[in-house]
Structure 1
Amino acid sequence: MLYIEEVLLDDVLKKGLSSFSFIDVRSPSEFLADHLPYAVNIPLLNDEERAIVGKIYKTKGVHSAKFKGIEIVSPKIPFLMNRVKNVVNKNKKDTIMYCWRGGDRSEAMVAFSKLAGLNVLKLKGGYKAFRKFVFNFFECQLGFSYRPKTIVIYGPTGSAKTSFLRTLKLENFPVIDLEGAAAHKGSTFGFIGEPDFKHVTQKSFETKIWKDFYISNYNNFVIVEGESKKIGKVTLPNSLYTLMKNGINILVNPSIDFRVQYTLDNYLPYSDENSIFTALSKIKKYLGYRKVTELYNYFKQKQYTDFVYNLLVNYYDPLYKKSLPNKIDYTVTYESIEEGLKNVKEILVSIFDNYTISNI
């Protein structure tokens, strides 16, 4: 009899996610909606096959559904095992498989793998256990048993604040990348240049921002970008939003010339005409027909500097001023990314030091 070893999520998290390879055996659409960090998808059944088995389950019962599943999967076993073998051999780590709730799909894949001589483990409770953990983190832990000091970086559109945050993250500052997780820049035009936006779900968003907390080892500080409650099509967890509202606020505020050039260099508004026109139609109620027509003409005539300047001054800036908190603790001015990043780092180090001294 095959022995299938199960591993608990708590034990995996304590040892570290990066210590394992994860194989998600659910269908591609389930995987796309959300999955464990670092997981690869090797589906036992694709979406169409899963639908067939599900229909039989509803009409003929569990035994007929399982038999149909065996019929579908059997010819694919060598192909599936070669993919599993590649993961096991490439990563040289303990490999953990999971399905929706640690049921038949992961049980079958682990069994096939064992028969093929591949040493793999099964996640007890499957993806459902992981999702429950992430949900409980935001609902029951963040802001309660774990209450980090939150540093919120605000800045008008084109101020390079997202660039600052991502550079800080690469340098191991405890950054929670909200816009990266949402695949959205947090505005009417925010979906442009974000190919992953169409796949983002509330669950995948929460998983990604939880991962940022996790890889920072639940730091006493977290650094986030100032955002509204909603980013694109996802919503900030209440616990995180509350912490942000009570955070230490830094405003990065370069000149309008810097902002126009940065926007032209990084957001490439002229690369997707259909998206630009769709976004312009959405802001007509804010700017009025005349202003939107003026923007449209700038764009059509390839007067991109005028287009961006007027969009920033007439649309983004008035909205942004309304969203700023009443209290700004630090203001940073600069004329280059290097200068701005240097100034932000100096403030962050000062905050960290002051907090450490005050708690000695």
Structure 2
Amino acid sequence: MRVDTQDYLSLFLNDTPLIDTRAPVEFARGAFPDAVNLPLMTDDERAAVGTCYKEHGQQAAMALGHQLVNGETKTQRINAWLEHARQHPTGYLYCFRGGLRSQICQQWLHDAGLDYPRVEGGYKAMRQFLLSCLEQICLDQKILILAGHTGSAKTDLLLEVPDAVDLEGIANHRGSAFGRRADGQPSQIDFENRLIIAMLKHQYRHPGKPMVLEDESRLIGRCALPHVLRETMAKAPLIQLQSDLEARTEHSYINYILRKSAEWQQHAGDEQGFELFIEDLRDSLFRVRKRLGGEQYTFISEQMEHAIQAHRAGDNTEHRVWIRSLLRDYYDPMYDYQGRKHHERVVFKGNATAVKEFLAALQN
């Protein structure tokens, strides 16, 4: 018989299946990558029990909980736990603090003929464990930052590194003002949990080896890098990936036109998806209008509108024109300005082949 656990590290390193018995609203605020929400109580039931607890105490609240989750409702929830537990015999269940809710679920499963262990301390203890791990990683782990002009295919190169920590992939965003993805982003807490778990896996699978992270601003879309990580990254050595304007234009065209339009159309259907894609492009350019300045914004906006009309007529290649202008006149000067402030941190620079060779040597 497996016993309850406080070995949070093993849970995360091994992608252990987890049953999260918290209410859906709690799960939506933040959860773990390998957790499925099979709640003991719905949001309304939890709210009613919470109010009863404040007004009448624990015993009355427990009585109300058993009254609300009874009969067929109770049977359905037990059956959901049983099905998941039998499909994932190495898993665990948890609630917020490892208290009454997970104990009740565990007891009801036992009464149904299945012993299933729970995580002691629950979600709160696991979350605190991850935050402590992040602090320690930032102190102990050698971190390198992969930098380069917008469009230089940093993410593609990074993904060739074993157990890469892909910040943009975890945030489900391509990083720039145009980086929004059709299926949205995780919550801030989900982003942090996934990020720290990825960093833990790299640290334990590649002890003593540097961790390479892509150069990012504080925000990746609406996901904010944890402050301690952002401070660490701001001081870490830089590797500069060099790529010429035409190559970067082509990469951006593939990413932000071909792939992005396909994502929107897959998400919302061909016609509506195409219109959402066009709206996304316009909104993204509008968000950087102040930094562009009125004259430059108007110029690039007109290029974009011309490309949109050509795209509607079946030719999507005209997008390269406004992409080239935006890279040359907006992103490149901004990157060059920032680069001059941090030139002393650069430990290597070169094209994709040279950078891959440099990184491979570090991993050996």
Same fold by TM-score, threshold 0.5 exceeded? yes
> Across the two proteins, how many residue pairs are aligned to each other?
331
Query: What TM-score comes out, normalization by structure 2 length?
Result: 0.82
Asked if the contact 1:36/1:130 (under 8 Å) is kept, the reply is: no
CA distance in 1, matches of 2:343, 2:75: 62
- Rounded to whole Å, the distance in 2 between the matches of 1:165 and 1:32 is 30
The alpha-carbon distance between structure 1 residues 26 and 156, as it changes in their structure 2 partners (threshold 3 A), is same
2-structure distance, mates of 1:166, 1:159 = 14
Of 303, 313, 329, which aligns to 1:298? 303
Residue 337 of structure 1: aligned partner: none
- How far did residue 150 of structure 1 move? 1.4
Q: 1:116-195 counterparts in 2 under 5 A?
A: 116-139=112-135, 141-144=136-139, 147-168=140-161, 173-190=162-179, 192-193=180-181, 195=183
Q: Give the 3-state SS of the residue equivalent to 1:122 in structure 2.
A: coil
Number of the residue aligned with 2:326: 311
Structure 1 equivalent of residue 51 of structure 2: 55
Matched, 1:279 2:284: yes
**Which string of whole-angstrom CA distances, capped at 9 and with x for unpartnered residues, describes residues 225-250 of structure 1?**
01223333343334433432343321
For 2:11 and 2:286, how far apart are their aligned partners in 1? 50
Residue in 2 that maps onto 1:200: 187
Which structure 2 residue ranges, 5 or more long, are not aligned?
Answer: 262-273, 309-317
The counterpart of 2:81, out of the listed 75, 80, 84, is: 84
| Amino acid in the other structure paired with 2:184 | D
Does the Cα contact within 8 Å between 2:32 and 2:190 map onto a contact in 1?
no
The secondary structure found in structure 2 opposite 1:261 is: helix
Indicate conservation of the 8 Å contact 1:45/1:73, yes or no: yes
Change (3 A) 1:82 1:62: same
**Alignment CA distance shift 1:312-1:119 (3 Å):** same
Q: CA 1:16–1:228 in 2, change beyond 3 Å: closer, same or farther? A: closer
Structure 1: 5+ residue runs without aligned partners?
Answer: 334-339, 354-360
1:194 and 1:211 mapped to 2: Cα distance? 25
Structure 1 residues 48 and 321: alpha-carbon distance in aligned structure 2, compared to 1, 3 A threshold: farther
Q: Supply the distance in 1 between the matched residues of 2:120 and 2:77 (Cα, whole angstroms).
A: 21
* Of 111-120 and 296-305, the range deviating more from structure 2: 296-305
Q: Which amino acid is 1:7 matched to?
A: T
State the partner residue of 2:233.
Answer: 244
The alignment partner of 1:296 has SS state of helix
Residue 20 of structure 1: aligned partner: 16
Q: Tell me, yes or no, if the aligned pair for 1:21 and 1:87 is still in contact at 8 Å.
A: no
- The correspondence for 1:215, drawn from 201, 205, 218, is 201
Q: Which position in structure 1 is the counterpart of 2:4?
A: 6
The answer on whether the counterparts of 1:181 and 1:209 sit within 8 Å (CA) in structure 2 is yes
1:39 maps to what in 2? 35
Call closer, same or farther: CA 1:215–1:44 in 2, change over 3 Å.
same
Paired with 1:103 and 1:305, the residues of 2 have a C-alpha distance of 57
Structural RMSD (CA):
2.5
Could you list the per-position Cα deviations for residues 266-298 of structure 1 after superposition, in whole angstroms to 9, with x for gaps in the alignment? 222665233333222221211122222222222
Distance (whole Å) between structure 1 residues aligned to residue 178 and residue 12 of structure 2: 37
Aligned residue number for residue 26 of structure 2: 30
The answer (yes or no) to whether the contact 2:241–2:349 under 8 Å persists in 1 is: yes
Partner of 2:348: 330
Percent identity reads: 30
TM-score under structure 1 normalisation? 0.83
Cα deviations by residue, 1:143-164 (Å, 9 ceiling, x for unpaired): 43xx222121112111111122
Question: Is contact 1:184–1:232 with CA below 8 Å preserved after alignment?
Answer: yes
2:215 matched to which residue of 1?
226
1:100 corresponds to which residue?
A: 96
How far has the Cα of 1:38 moved from its partner? Answer: 1.2
| Stretch moving more, 312-321 or 239-248 | 239-248
- Displacement of 1:88: 2.3
CA distance in 1, matches of 2:36, 2:292: 45
1:183 touches 1:200 (CA, 8 Å); kept in 2? no
Please give the alpha-carbon distance, in whole angstroms, between the structure 2 residues aligned to 1:50 and 1:102. Answer: 16
Quick one: distance in 1 between partners of 2:93 and 2:182? 30
Among 242, 248, 251, the alignment partner of 1:253 is 242
Preserved CA contact (<8 Å) 1:134 1:210: yes
